Structure formats: structure tokens, C-alpha cells
Structure 1
Amino acid sequence: MTPTGKAHPTIERDVTEELARHLLRTQHADLADLPLVRVGTGWDNVLWRLGDDLALRLPVRASSAPLVAYEHAALPVLAPRLPVDVPVPVRAGHPDDRYPWPWSVVPWFDGRPAYAQPVAERSAWAEDLAAVLVALHRPAPPDAPPNAVRGVPIAPRRPALVERLDRLALPEVDRVLARFDDLAAAPDHTGPAVWVHGDPHPANVLVARGRLRAVIDWGDVTSGDPASDLATAWLTFDADGRAAFRARVDAGARWDEATWRRAQAWALHFSVVLGMHPVEYPHLAEIGRHGLAQALDG
């Protein structure tokens, strides 16, 4: 995938160390003198490590602000049922005259994102990630956070896929669309709407000492079809890891073949999305390259 020249998602409000300390001093004064180390800026949030055990997550654009509320609502409910650590917010931050959106203080988990681990080594925890999704994918209440682009039917995403493919110099365009059309023709999900993480790709999975450590970034949490989460089988693993992942999911959830076909279609879609800004987010583009190859061939 090659650069398109199109700007990466707009950072509407960055958070400097001075601003982060201002927010802490005025809202959580007992934390204001802890060391602050900037970790980085993702699509939606800037992350500052706070002392040894905490972190600040602050939206960088208005469209990301509602995701904070979704995490605050859903994670305390979900965390007790999940067999892995998740960043349940420990403090809530509020807008003020210098920063316009809600924000969070969350636990800091030692580990590295899964994308930094060689793909072949990820098979060691493929069953563990599958167990997390089996535990997560249970019927959700009607007031689960809404999300128009996760947990929904995949076939209507085709125009967005075509638009993105038009902006990328991919030699596989025809093959991607043909494969997508075949997979997305699978019947839609007709069972209960289940809890959905929304984005369990390798940048949102942490590993430590070669094992699964935590699943983070729950801003896209919602309810619906689990297929969009199961796309991680192609985004995260190779064929061996994917086989272990699917075997564990099938043992615990027994989703039908149509669900897995929709999941593979989602993997194609997500792979293209992740590749849209290779200069600004090279690690996401690499996840996209890997996922595309796996979803086309697997």
C-alpha cells in the first residue's frame, strides 16, 4: 500500500504536558505531580503515561469524544466476565475552558502491542484471545453503545471499500472486490445482538513475555454481529494461529460458517482501512498489508 497524499485524521486538539497537568491539577489534584511521559497519538486519542501504574487517554477530535463515555459505561460491566485485563477507567475527566471533551485516567499495563511481535510467535496466545471474545460475545442489553460501522452487516460497506481502493495503488483491486463480494454474500447475523469490542486488531492487543497481557482501546464497543471482531483471525495471525483461534472460538461459541465468511469480508475491509495512512501510521499499514494477504489467501 502506498501513500495517497490525503491527510491523516485531523488532530483538532493536541494535549501538551502543560495542558495535561492543568487538567490533573484542577480535577484530580492528588495525581498532578506524578511523572508524565507521552506515549503517542492514535486515530482518536493521545496517551500519556502517568506515574508507574496509570495513563491519561484524551480525545484529539470531537468525533472521538463520545467514545470516552462508551468506555466508562461498558467496561465496568464487561471487565468481570473477561479472562484478561482491560482498561476500566479509574477516574473520569471533564471538559473545562481549556479542553472541550471528557477524558479518562486508566490503568497502565506493561507490555507491547501485538504488532511488534513476529506473527508466527502470536500463535502462542491465539487461543487466549479467542477465549476473550468467546466470553465477550454474549447477548448485550438494548442500551449498549451504538456504532454504525461495527457489529453491522458487512455488505453495505462495499461503497466505502471501493472508494478507499480507488485511493490506493493496489495491484489486487479486482481480486479484493471479487473476494469481498463472495464473502459478503453470506447470510446476515440473525441471532441476538452480542457485545462487540469493535477493534481487536494487533495495535489494541498487548503481550508480555510472549503471552496475552491485555485488550485495550474499547471506544468502538457496541452490540451486534460478532463477525467484525472475528476478523482479527486474519489481521493478527498466520494460518497456524488462525486455526488455533478458530478452534477455540468454535469450541466456546459455535458460530456458523456464514459468520466466519462475514468475518473474512470484514478482514478485507479493515485491512484497507488500516492501510489508508501509511506515512502517519506505518504500524497500522503493516497490519493492513498482513491482513489483506491473509484474507485473500486464507
Structure 2
Amino acid sequence: MHADQVDVSVDVVSALVAEQFPRWRGLPVRPLPSTGTVNALFRLGPDIVLRFPLLPSTDPELRAELRREQEHAVLLGGHLPVAVPEPLGLGEPGDGYPGPWTAYQFIPGQTAQPDRIADLDVFARDLADVVTALRGIDTGGRIWSGNGRGGRLAAEDAGVRAALAVSGALTDTTALSEVWERCRDAHRDDLADVWIHGDLMPGNLLVRDGRLAAVIDLGAVGVGDPSVDLMPAWNLLDAGSRETYRRALGVDDDTWERGRGWALLQAINALPYYVETNPVMADIARHTLRAVLD
């Protein structure tokens, strides 16, 4: 998916585990199919999942990011009504893989898609409960860090315009540009930043027995604009369950429009980038862009 990504083999993973986590030596390793765009996943034995960034680096900031992700998992695990990944270890660079990597408790389930969800309205309410719980966690006075999602949409205008400019053959960029302008300008200064997941994509929501079972991939967790976590309204839900989600969260008009803007931003950047390399992500982007025009 990425021109400079690093592909890691089962043999390399097995050797790294044996060297750095002797207690797990001998557990079978197998690749875990994933349409994710950040990590290669491996199942270690029956209960562990290993996450290897596709773009590894020895830069201390990557290790710090992975450490923060594990700290956020511990924080969220004590507050959310569904499971989150439990961190088990932080691996170091080694032969065959030039960067840190992580180990988590495996959570059974399937990534969310409509045909795996028993009732989209129930799912929307369950997800709203998760977002409500997130927003209820004390921020300790933190504000948006300045990195990632969570700031003003206006700061993303140049990037969205550039993505629209190369997507004319893929989607209705004229209509999307009009929607983007409305969403971009729906900022409010009186809303406090809250804890957000930041990346509530279908692939980061696990379903079991037709219900929401877990929220995974916590790399984007932080403090920011609450509208960011409205993205599932457009990237997964249908028109009816979208309104259920909105009602359950009690969202005002401006916040709803910013949520639409975050969904549009993610999708219009993903569509041209993944249209050839990740059909699942491209299809989610198309679904999202159709939904934001509803």
C-alpha cells in the first residue's frame, strides 16, 4: 500500500519473539489478514496479536507513539463499556525489522460491516455509549496536541482541496467541495476538547454475535474536538441508524456538520491513495462520500 513500507516475514517475527520474549518462544506465528493501513498483524498462539508498523523507524518518536497507544489502552479499558486491546509488551528493533512493535491480547470478533451487524440502530446506540464514555473521561485540562485529528477543520483545507483536485474521475468533487466548505466553517469556540478515539473506522470496530464487542487500534486516541468521533455516522451507518447515533449523542447542528467534514476529509484523502492498493479502504471511502452528500 505504501511505496516505502517494510514487509516482515513469519520467520523474522518468530525470531524476534524468541529473542525478546522468551516466555512466548515456541508459540506458533501466522499472519492475520487485515485491510488496515498502518500495521502488519500476526497471531501469536491463541491469545496474542502482534502489530508491526508498515513504516518502521528507529526514531524515538515512533517508540513514544507506541508507548502512548498502550497507555491509552490501559486508560480506556477502565472506562469503556466494550473491550479494548490489553497491552502485553513493546518489542524492539532486531534482525529483519528496523523498528519497535507491540503485543496485545487478542480479541475475537470480525470487523464491522452492515451484513455482520444484527441491528444497525442497536449498534449505533452501543457505539454512542462508547463515545459518551470516552467524552466522560477527565482530560486533566488537556487540549488538542496540535497533531492528528481534533483541531479546526479550516487547517485541513489545503489538503482536502488537493485531494479533491485529483479525484474528479472517482467521485463528484463539485458537490463534495460545496459540502466541505459548509463543514469547514461550522467551527464553535465554546466547545471544550474531550477524549476522542480519532479513528472510528469500520476496521477498528469489532463485532461478535451481531453486536459491538470491541474498539481497537488506539493510535489516534487523544484530546480534541468531539465531532471527530461522529465519523461512523457516514463511514458505516445507514440513514436511519445515522440519526439514531446523532440522537443518542445529543449532537448540535454545528458539531454534526464538523463530523461530516471529518468523514469527508478522511474519505477524500483515502480514495485516490488506496483506489489501486486497498480495495476495501477505497470502497469505505466511496460509501462515506456518498453518505456525506445525503
Name the structure 2 match of 1:247. Answer: 247
The structural deviation recorded for 1:12 is 3.2
Deviations 1:244-290 (A, max 9, x none): 1112112xxxx432111110111111121231312211111111111
Q: Does 1:75 align with 2:68?
A: no
Q: Which whole-Å CA distance do the structure 2 matches of 1:222 and 1:241 have between them?
A: 26
The answer to whether the 8 Å contact 2:17/2:25 transfers is: yes
What's the RMSD between the two structures over aligned residues? 2.2
Q: Which whole-Å CA distance do the structure 1 matches of 2:104 and 2:115 have between them?
A: 24
* Partner SS state of residue 46, structure 1: strand
Name the structure 1 match of 2:110. Answer: 112
Between Structure 1 and Structure 2, how many residues are aligned? 286
Deviates further, 98-107 or 131-140: 98-107
Deviates further, 16-25 or 134-143: 134-143
Q: How does 1:285-296 map to 2 (within 5 A)?
A: 285-296=282-293
> Residue 184 and residue 140 in structure 1: after superposition, are their counterparts in 2 closer, same or farther (change >3 A)?
same
Q: How does 1:1-298 map to 2 (within 5 A)?
A: 8-40=1-33, 42-62=36-56, 66-96=64-94, 98-115=96-113, 117=115, 121-138=119-136, 139-141=138-140, 146=145, 148-168=147-167, 169-250=169-250, 255-276=251-272, 277-297=274-294
Q: Which whole-Å CA distance do the structure 2 matches of 1:204 and 1:79 have between them?
A: 15
Q: Which whole-Å CA distance do the structure 2 matches of 1:93 and 1:145 have between them?
A: 28
Deviations 1:25-45 (A, max 9, x none): 111111121121201363211
Task: Give the letter for the 1:198 counterpart.
Answer: G
* Partner SS state of residue 109, structure 1: coil
Q: Which whole-Å CA distance do the structure 2 matches of 1:20 and 1:11 have between them?
A: 19
> Residue 275 and residue 163 in structure 1: after superposition, are their counterparts in 2 closer, same or farther (change >3 A)?
same
Q: Which whole-Å CA distance do the structure 2 matches of 1:143 and 1:13 have between them?
A: 35
* Partner SS state of residue 117, structure 1: helix
Q: Which runs of 5+ in 2 are unaligned?
A: none
The structural deviation recorded for 1:198 is 1.1
The structural deviation recorded for 1:55 is 0.5
Q: Which whole-Å CA distance do the structure 2 matches of 1:290 and 1:60 have between them?
A: 26
Q: Which whole-Å CA distance do the structure 2 matches of 1:120 and 1:165 have between them?
A: 35
Name the structure 2 match of 1:5. Answer: none
The structural deviation recorded for 1:143 is 6.5
Q: Which whole-Å CA distance do the structure 2 matches of 1:195 and 1:222 have between them?
A: 6
> Residue 115 and residue 263 in structure 1: after superposition, are their counterparts in 2 closer, same or farther (change >3 A)?
same
Q: Which whole-Å CA distance do the structure 2 matches of 1:160 and 1:120 have between them?
A: 37
Q: Which runs of 5+ in 1 are unaligned?
A: 1-7
* Partner SS state of residue 267, structure 2: helix
Deviations 1:152-209 (A, max 9, x none): 1112212111111222223511110111101221123533321111100111111111
Deviations 1:94-134 (A, max 9, x none): 22354332211111111111137368853331110111011
TM-score normalised to structure 2 length? 0.89
The structural deviation recorded for 1:85 is 0.5
Q: Which whole-Å CA distance do the structure 1 matches of 2:67 and 2:144 have between them?
A: 9
The structural deviation recorded for 1:62 is 3.7
Q: Which whole-Å CA distance do the structure 2 matches of 1:147 and 1:22 have between them?
A: 38
The answer to whether the 8 Å contact 2:112/2:207 transfers is: yes
Task: Give the letter for the 1:212 counterpart.
Answer: L
The answer to whether the 8 Å contact 2:56/2:100 transfers is: no
* Partner SS state of residue 275, structure 2: coil
TM-score normalised to structure 1 length? 0.88
* Partner SS state of residue 159, structure 1: helix
Task: Give the letter for the 2:78 counterpart.
Answer: P
The answer to whether the 8 Å contact 1:82/1:135 transfers is: yes
> Residue 144 and residue 71 in structure 1: after superposition, are their counterparts in 2 closer, same or farther (change >3 A)?
farther
Q: Which whole-Å CA distance do the structure 1 matches of 2:121 and 2:63 have between them?
A: 35
